[in-house]
Amino acid sequence: EIVLTQSPATLSLSPGERATLSCRTSQSVSTYLAWYQQRPGQAPRLLIYDASTRATGIPARFSGSGSGTDFTLTITSLEPEDFAVYYCQQRINWPPWTFGQGTKVE
C-alpha cells in the first residue's frame, strides 16, 4: 500500500498570504495524484487531479505541481473560505487508493 505523507500538519497563515502544502508518496505515483479541500462539517471537494489539472469550477489561485514522489499544492492568495483541511490522494495501479493524513490551513 502506498503511503502519503503530508506536511506540515498545520499551516498558520493570514488571508492574502501564500500557502504551500506538500505531499510525499512512499513510491512513485507518476502524476496520478489529486488534492481535495474539506471545510468544517462538509464533504471533501476535488481541487486538482493528475497533479496539476484544476477540477471544474476551481479558482485559478489553486495550483498543483510535482511528479514521482513529491507534490505541492499552492494557494497564491488565501481567501477566508480557503481555511480548511487539504488531503492528497493517489490513484496509480492497484487499489486501495490512499489519502494523506491532511494539512490544516488555519
Partner 1 sequence: QVQLVQSGAEVKKPGASVKVSCKASGYTFTDHYMHWVRQAPGQGLEWMGYTNPNSGGTYYAHKFQGRVTMTMDTSTTTAYMELSRLTSDDTAIYYCVRDLNVLMKIGDRPLYYFDYWGQGILVTVSS
- Residues in contact with partner 1 by the rule CB under 8 A: 34, 36, 43-46, 49, 55-56, 87, 89, 91, 95-102
C-beta of 17: minimal distance to partner 1 in Å?
25
Residue identified by cell 471544474 is 56
Q: What are 89's three cell numbers?
A: 490522494
Q: What angle do CA 17, 84, 30 make, to 5 degrees?
A: 85
Q: Which is nearer to partner 1, 38 or 69 (CB)?
A: 38
Smallest separation, CB 55 to partner 1 (Å): 6
